[in-house]
Amino acid sequence: LGVVWVVNCSQPCRLMLQYGTAGFRTTAKHLDHVMFRMGLLATLRSRKTKSTIGVMVTASHNPEEDNGLKLIDPMGEMVTPSWEGYATQLANAEQEVLCSALKDIIEKETINMSETASVFVGRDTRPSSQRLSQAVLDGVSCLGGQIQDYGLVTTPQLHYMVRCRNTHGCYGTDTLQGYYQKLSQAFIELTKNARNHTDDQKRLLVDGANGIGALKVRELEACLQSELQMVLFNDGSNGKLNYLCGADYVKVQQKPPQGINMGAGERCCSFDGDADRIVYYYNDSDGSFHLLDGDKIATLISTYLKELLTQAGLNLQIAVVQTAYANGSSTQYLEDIMKVTVSCTKTGVKHLHHAAQKFDIGVYFEANGHGTVLQLSEFIRLKASVDEKKHAAKLLENTINLINQATGDAISDMLVIEAVLAIRGMTVQEWDSIYTDLPNRQLTVKVADRRMIDTADAERRAVTPAGLQDSIDALVKKYTKARAFVRPSGTEDLVRVYAEAETQESADVLAHEVSLAVYHMAGGVGEKPKPLK
Ligand code: 16G
Ligand code: MG
């Protein structure tokens, strides 16, 4: 153990690293020892669960210089919270106590070290990812684990592989070819039901964020038999990863990525750096930009599924899981018009995924474009007898096959959205007009210690510092259809502020006023937040 560790981690840095909302994320040069140690931990987790475990090397939408890691549990979901704690402990252990830290975990979890261990490893396109994934592989070998190195894959592809392996092929074949075949066959079957499927309607502009998603879209393309005609931008051939492009840029800046050539009314989408997020958008004829975020995606998919369930005569409860960031208009539309159950959780895929598991069918999406649908496989057992029911059941079955139930997946979500739009003969404008977003604004505030802010009610209320929530409530009261909340970020050292209201001006002023309240009451540092112009 010592020898390999010295090779990989001769200079563990003194930074305190935390396994956060979506794993470790920091400057790539601080991560070699963490990667090696997570290779060790993954083999322990594999022995504990007697299953294959995944390790993905990526920092998603962060700048190219950063990197990170996510651990994937047996069904393809995020690693269980108690093991996030072990990950943090192990990443920060001093070199001399590493062996005893490992022994502690082995004892606490009563792990039988003579069990076989199997770990799947994948990585994104960052320059540092190859070196860092080698450190993971070394860690796995060091504890005698078997390795399957998938090399360059999207995060959701690795989640999918892990799920396939642990369900012994029931979910699909654990190869890239298997993934493309499963998705493309389902897509082609679904689009046979399309209305007026002209070349114009089949056209989609895709912003690959100069990352792994772009490479994988190219691989998928051939299997789609021109049923989807993707025009790829930011394919990594010259631009920098996530720089002025990608889903995060588009959502936060509320404008198109650079490097894309959009005609009026053309349907466009952006992936993030590891292709587990997607947002759609278009420019209308007067040049104004329209964003269709995770809330619009959840609405489109849940509406479609609800109709199919009714047609197939299946009485199942469908719910949409959102976070506090969901636009108020989307929640209102889903509850009042669609009459579906809406549930709100804390930010972070693992919370939404967990909440969605409680329903017959759980559609979960964060406004930022992370999401998928769970539990659809239950349908496979329910064969309908009447013809029109059979037709709906067949559509459901193909939709199930198109959805990556292990985690949110930009490629799979894109194909689901494209299939639904094709089947309904719907344009992007028609989809957009299902409801109108309330104007909103997101800001950040720097404070000395963001842990001063503690929240409750799925992050919608601040319980500390005392008096902050009362101030927010008083500010919100001044505006029509207004709502605001604050929460400490789980990925950066700052506090996030969200406000929405009937007009953009009110949303902007409210967001600024709430930022000031945070600054004054929660230990703001640096310059006082300035009003938006
Ligand atoms: C991570 C989460 C994402 C969440 C974001 C919030 C995963 C895979 N990713 O990127 O779901 O929206 O963090 O960041 O869980 P914040 O805490 O800094 O606002
Ligand atoms: Mg991502």
pLDDT tens per residue, range 18-75: 998 889 999 999 999 999 999 999 999 999 999 999 999 999 999 999 999 999 999 9
CA-to-CA separations, 41 to 89, 164, 354, in angstroms, rounded = 11, 21, 23
* Residue whose CA is at the smallest distance from ligand 1 atom 10: 22
Q: Kindly state the average pLDDT of the residues 102-111.
A: 97
Active site residue 128: no
333 burial (CB, 10 Å; 0-12 / 13-18 / 19+) is buried
Ligand 1: list residues with CB < 6 Å. 21-22, 347-349, 366, 368, 370, 489-492, 496
366 carries a ligand binding annotation: yes
At residue 377 the predicted structure's pLDDT band, cuts being 50, 70 and 90, is low
- Please report the pLDDT score of residue 380 as a whole number: 52
Question: Tokens 């050539």 label which residue?
Answer: 261
DSSP β-ladder status, 268-271 and 229-233: unpaired
String of DSSP letters for 86-148: HHHHHHH--GGGHHHHHHHHHHHTT--TTS--EEEEEE-S-TTHHHHHHHHHHHHHHTT-EEE
Q: How confident is the model at residue 484 (pLDDT cuts 50, 70, 90)?
A: very high
Question: Do you find a cis peptide bond into 465, omega within 30 degrees of 0?
Answer: yes
CA–CA separation, 301 and 279 (whole Å)? 14
Strand 118-123 and strand 454-456: the pairing is unpaired
Q: Which neighbouring-strand residues pair with 345? A: 323
More confident of the two residues 97 and 388: 97
Q: DSSP class of residue 19?
A: -
Q: What CA–CA distance (Å, rounded) separates 159 from 122? A: 10
Which atom of ligand 1 lies nearest, measured to the CA of 323?
12
Closest alpha carbon to 216 in 258, 179, 251: 179
Q: What is the spatial distance between Cα 28 and Cα 67, in angstroms, rounded to a whole number?
A: 5
Residue 409 burial by Cβ neighbours in a 10 Å radius (0-12, 13-18, 19+)? buried
Distance from C-alpha of 327 to C-alpha of 438, rounded to nearest angstrom: 7
Inter-residue long-range contacts of 191-194, CB under 8 Å, 24+ positions, other chains counted = 191/227, 191/228, 191/418, 191/419, 191/422, 191/423, 193/395, 193/422, 193/423, 194/422, 194/423, 194/425
Instruction: Report the percent of the chain where pLDDT is more than 70.
Output: 95
Mean pLDDT of the chain: 94
Percentage of residues of the chain with pLDDT beyond 90: 87
- Ligand 1 pocket: which of 277, 347, 487 to mutate (most atoms within 8 A of CB): 347
Q: What are 379-404's pLDDT values in tens digits? A: 555 555 667 788 888 999 999 999 99
Nearest CA to ligand 1 atom 4: 348
* For ligand 1, mutation pick of 351, 370, 497 (most atoms within 8 Å of CB): 370
Instruction: Kindly give the distance from the C-alpha atom of residue 315 to the centroid of ligand 1, in angstroms, as a whole number.
Output: 34
Per-residue pLDDT reduced to its tens digit, 189-240: 999 999 878 888 999 999 999 999 999 999 999 999 889 999 999 999 999 9
Q: Dump pLDDT digits (tens) for 301-338.
A: 999 999 999 998 888 899 999 999 999 999 999 999 99
Specify the residue for token string 């999207």: 154
How sure is the predictor about 5, in pLDDT bands with cuts at 50, 70 and 90?
very low
d(CA 240, CA 245): 9
Contacts of 176 (CB under 8 A, 6+ apart): 150, 153, 157, 219
Q: Tell me the sheet residues that pair with 154.
A: none
- The pLDDT assigned to 7 comes to 41
Is 368 part of any known ligand binding site? Answer: yes
Residue 368 CB neighbour total at 10 angstroms: 22
- Label the pairing between strands 495-500 and 483-488: antiparallel
